[in-house]
Structure formats: C-alpha cells, structure tokens
Amino acid sequence: MTEIINIITAISILIFLYAAWSDFRNWKIPNGAILALLALYCLRALVELLTSGDVGTALFSSTGVGGDAGAGLLLFTLGIVLWAFGLFGAGDAKLFLPIGLFIGWHGMLSFAVFLLIGGVLTLLALRWPVPMQLAHLSIFMRIEEIRATRKIPYGVIMVIAVLATMASRYGKP
C-alpha cells in the first residue's frame, strides 16, 4: 500500500507544479487542479485509513486525517480573509485548502517558514535587473511583465513552500 501512497504523492506534486506554472503564466489557478488535489488527498486518506491498525487514531489525531483537515480549513480560512481584503486572488485562496491537507497540522510551521523565505526571495529577485543577454527569453519577459504590473503570482511561492514541506514530511524513511 505504500506504493499507492507514493504514486498519489507523486501525482499531487505534478498537479501542484501545474498550478504554479499556470499561475505564473496566466495569474490563474485552474479549479480542475484544486479539485484533482482534493480528490487525490481523499484517495490517500482512504488508503491510509484502510492500512491503519487503529482507525480512531488515523482519523482523529493531529498526525492523521483530523490534523490534515484542521490545517486545510485553517489555511483556507486565512486565504478567504486575504482574498476578501484584496491581497490574494481567489485561486491562491482556494489553493490553500489542498496545501493544508497535504502538509498536515505538523507541517504548518515549516510551511510558514518556507513561505516567508520564498516571499522574501521573490521580492528580492523582482528587484534585480534581468541581464540583457537573457531579456529575450519568454520566462524573463514574463518576469518583466510581473514587475511592471506589480501582480505577484503567489501560487508559485506557495507551491514551492508546500513542496519543500512535503519533502521534509514524506522524505523521512
């Protein structure tokens, strides 16, 4: 059953990367990506419940489904508040729900630290000029557009932080 969880995690990583790329290219995070991540989490939780020796602990402990749901709802609520104040886009707010589910309650602190580091590095990177030799490349043209509009695709930073958190959580033997 561990192979199934690893496959689900790998697919979720690909979908997180797709959401980040879409946010970078279009300032939009597709609803389909959010729904796919939610479905993958539900499938992973079901597999973990079926393979667990103690279903009560797997459901209601802070390291189980209950902790994951708590983290997802807390981050989603934060995202809705930030969206209501115009600080986030709706896609960024929605992306917080599957992020919370996949990092769980115990991943919240490391996610916050990675998010802070990513935000600071992004702000610094947007202040550096693009070298003239690379200015014609489409990715750097997009960075110039982001710099000019001052609309930062936060989904990219959020996905980098969640992948770093997932690597620290799931990467343990």
What per-residue confidence (pLDDT) applies to 173? 45
Distance of CA 172 to the CA centre of its chain: 20
The mean pLDDT values, 10 residues at a time, for the chain of 173 residues are 87 97 93 97 91 73 84 96 93 96 94 95 84 75 81 93 88 53
What per-residue confidence (pLDDT) applies to 59? 72
What secondary structure letter does DSSP report for 132?
A: T
pLDDT tens readout for residues 155-164? 999 999 999 9
CB atoms within 10 A of CB 95: 28
Range of the domain at 9: 2-170
Q: How many residues does the chain have?
A: 173
Domain count, the chain: 1
SS3 label, residue 120 = helix
Per-residue b or e along 4-20, where b marks 16 or more CB atoms closer than 10 Å to that residue's CB = ebeebeeebbebbebbb
